Each structure stands twice: as structure tokens, then as C-alpha cells.
Structure 1
Amino acid sequence: MNFKAALLHLAVIMVAFSGGYRFAQAETVKLVGLGDSLMAGYQLPQEDALPAQLERELRAKGHDVTITNAGVSGDTTAGGLSRVDWSVPDDTDGVILELGANDALRGIPPAQTERNLDAILQRLTERKVQVLLVGMLAPPNMGDQYAEEFNAIYPRLAEKYGIPLYPFILDGVVTQANLLLEDGMHPNTEGLAVMADRMLPKVEELLARIEQAQK
């Protein structure tokens, strides 16, 4: 092999290596849906749960993303705090945080709910995990004062941490009987599809923040 041929051969190898390296660097974005039954997909197959439906919609739009379902039915913010470290693996890029509904149903003091969510957000921030905070509204039967205190939690925390907020997880579903299971509280498959569709722009905002943070 003469000198010019050797140089050409080396150049081809370097280009191939460089291209392969860039390809290896284009890793799938890993999200975790940390929440309660609304995230878990209560009484429904996993492929119908909110994380799965969101993942399909995102992939259909060209996003290379996976969303792990870390929803636990009946979980409170205290429960989420107790398991956040092991429910969110070290290689997680972003978390969709949806907790608080069961706190309101049980009448847990809003100040306690806020402390728990604040602690979760603090841990994720320390780990440099991007977060989309998903809000809940207090049930009407809890009274005006409770609702005023509880409903203010999510906007306040979103502002504190500078993170995107989806104000109400059940937006477009809660008053539609045909989108709920027989218990009148949990969404059915069609209801979760509505929720995924409405939440999609905020999840895309989360992906954009992740991309920006990784630059």
C-alpha cells in the first residue's frame, strides 16, 4: 500500500469511527412517571396506562424516549418521598411527578403535602433530574379553605424550582362519566388517552429542557 492509499484508508477509518461515536451518543431519553393510581393505570393493562400512552404519542412525533411507570395505587406524597430514590434510577433524565390526590382524599394537611413534594423536588434537583410537576385540585367536599391551601401548592413549587407545571391531571376527564371507570374517580383507557393528549405539550417541554441541560 503506497503512502497516499494509506492516508485514504486511515481517513475512512476515522470518519467511520467518528460517525459511530456520534450514533452511540444519541441515547434514548429516559423518563419516569412517579405517581399514584392515576399514573399506574388503576385496573387497566399497562399498555393503557398514562406513561405508555404518552410514550407512544411522543414516539409517533419522532422523540426517542421511554417512560417507566413508577405509579403506585393509593400512594401519598409521603409514600412517594419514601421511595423516590429507588423508584427513579440513576440514569433517569426526567421525571413526571404526579402525587397529592390521595393526600387530599384523606384530608392530609396541605402544609404536610407541600413539605413532601418539596423534599422530592429537592432530591431530584440535587441529582440534576429534570421534572414536570403535575398538579391536582382538592375535592369540593373538603371545603373552601382546604381547597385554597391545597390548590396553591403546585404553582408555588413550580415557581420555586423553575420547572414546568401541568396544572390539573384530570383536566378534560373528571366531569365526563364516559371517560371514567365505574367508581367515577379513575379514568378508563379513553380517559387516559385524553389526559395523554392534553399533557403532551408539557412533556415535550420537559424533553426540551433535558436536551438543553445535556448540551
Structure 2
Amino acid sequence: MADTRPRFFQASRISRRGVLIAGLAALPARALAARGQVVTILGDSITAGLGLTAQAALPAQLHLALEKLGVHNVVRGAGVSGDTSGDGANRVDFSVQPDTAVVVVALGGNDLLQGIDPRTTRANLERILVRLKQRHMGVVLAGLHAPPELGRGYAHDFDAVFTGLAKVHGVVLYPDLLAGVGRNPAMNQGDAIHPNARGVQVIAAKLAPVVAQELAKRP
């Protein structure tokens, strides 16, 4: 049967483990750490840079934005197209390597598109936060705002997932990953979902100071 789902879901999941392994093994952990603190972005196609070159994707652009702030860093992309919060929770130990100082948790977009119960999304994200805290890693939780077209009740409950988790677990909340980008045709690709290169630059510039502050807290 042909896959008629939005592009958000269509990237191949068969080879995703191989892709992640290749990216994580590109340089020895010690060599990476010597170049700066390690930031891992645990996310989906938005953070993986679907439709963009590696240089234009969020991991590379966040690295450059942090360098502009004088923060030497290594940013690892651990975004997998199509991943829900549940998928992220299932692979958090594999995807987030032990030398990571700060994890940007940027999941929930596919939950939103699939209409997953916000209570399920909250439970999955909570599993991730608990595990990262057990591993003594800093966290920046990147939220998303649900469009009102999904209904005020659903939108309210979805948005509350991120604010509630940040408060309960004492992690830094970046309220809206797509602030200044979402629903702006000039900042998005033709599918109106994934940021284009310009949109990613905006996201990176806004996100970098928050990540830098969290890195400064790490030993």
C-alpha cells in the first residue's frame, strides 16, 4: 500500500540506526569532547534537517550559533524522521552518548500530527527526562504550540505537557521550538511543516543562548 502520510512520517526508518551509528562514530568521543562540551539534540525530522543539507540542518547551525557566543562545542544530531515521543523514549540510551553535557529534547511534533493523547506524550517525555537526570545530564526541553484548529481543549492540554514537565522536573523550558518560524512561508519548505535553511538559522539563533546558559552550569 502506498504511504500517503505527510512527509513528516515518510523517511526510511529501516536504516536509521545505521545512520545514527555513523554519525556518532565519526570521531572518537575523547576527540569530540576535546573540542568543547557535547550537546545532543534528541528529536525528529525537524531537528534532523529533512530536506536540507547537513550544513544547513539544526545540529550544524546550533554549533555555529554557540560558537558565535564564544561557547566551544560539539553538537550531535540524534533526530530521526517520523519519531514520536515514544520512539525517542525507546532509544534515548542509545542515541545520547555518555559524554553528552546537555540534551535538547525536541520531540512531540509527530505526536501532534498523529493526534496522540497528550497524556501519552507527557508520559513518554517524562521517561526521557527521568533517564537523562539519572545520567546527570543537563536538559533543555523544547516545546511546541498546538494549532487551534485541533481544538482548544487538545491544544491547551498539549501545550501544558511541556510547561508541566519542566516545572515538575526542574529542567529548562524553551517554550516553542518553532518561534518566529512556524506558519511563516518564508521560513518553511513547501510542505509548510519543515523549516528551510533560513528558518533553521532563526531557530538556532534563538535556541543557542538557552543552551549556552545550561552548558555553563555543567562541570
TM-score tier by shorter-chain length is 0.7 to 0.9
Q: What is aligned with 1:11?
A: none
Q: What is aligned with 1:10?
A: none
Q: What is aligned with 1:46?
A: 54
CA contact 2:44–2:82 (8 Å) conserved in 1: yes
CA contact 2:183–2:192 (8 Å) conserved in 1: no
CA contact 1:104–1:139 (8 Å) conserved in 2: no
Aligned length: 187
Q: Distance in 1 between matches of 2:183 and 2:35?
A: 40
Correspondence for 1:111 among 110, 116, 119: 119
How far residue 27 of structure 1 moved from its aligned partner, in angstroms, is 6.4
Identity of aligned residues (%): 42
Q: What is aligned with 1:84?
A: 92
Tell me whether 1:149 sits opposite 2:149 in the alignment: no
Amino acid at match of 2:118: P
Q: What is aligned with 1:97?
A: 105
Q: What is aligned with 1:176?
A: 184
Question: Secondary structure at the residue paired with 2:55?
Answer: helix
Q: Distance in 2 between matches of 1:195 and 1:57?
A: 10
Q: Distance in 1 between matches of 2:62 and 2:202?
A: 10
When the two structures are superposed, what TM-score results if normalisation uses the length of structure 1? 0.84
Q: What is aligned with 1:62?
A: 70
Q: Distance in 2 between matches of 1:26 and 1:83?
A: 26
Structure number with larger C-alpha Rg = 1
Q: Distance in 2 between matches of 1:207 and 1:75?
A: 26
How far residue 159 of structure 1 moved from its aligned partner, in angstroms, is 0.9
Q: Distance in 1 between matches of 2:100 and 2:92?
A: 12
When the two structures are superposed, what TM-score results if normalisation uses the length of structure 2? 0.82
CA contact 1:105–1:139 (8 Å) conserved in 2: no
Q: Distance in 1 between matches of 2:170 and 2:199?
A: 29
Tell me whether 1:120 sits opposite 2:128 in the alignment: yes
Q: Distance in 1 between matches of 2:212 and 2:117?
A: 33
Tell me whether 1:201 sits opposite 2:213 in the alignment: no
56-65 or 29-38, larger mean C-alpha shift: 56-65
How far residue 28 of structure 1 moved from its aligned partner, in angstroms, is 1.9
How far residue 205 of structure 1 moved from its aligned partner, in angstroms, is 1.5
Q: CA-to-partner distance for each residue in 1:87-118, whole Å, 9 max, x for gaps?
A: 00111111010000110110100000000000
Give the RMSD, CA atoms, in angstroms.
Answer: 1.4
How far residue 26 of structure 1 moved from its aligned partner, in angstroms, is 7.0
Tell me whether 1:129 sits opposite 2:126 in the alignment: no
Which ranges of 4 or more aligned residues in structure 1 deviate by more than 6 Å? none
Runs of 5+ unmatched residues, structure 1: 1-24
Report 1:2-41 matches (<5 A).
28-41=36-49
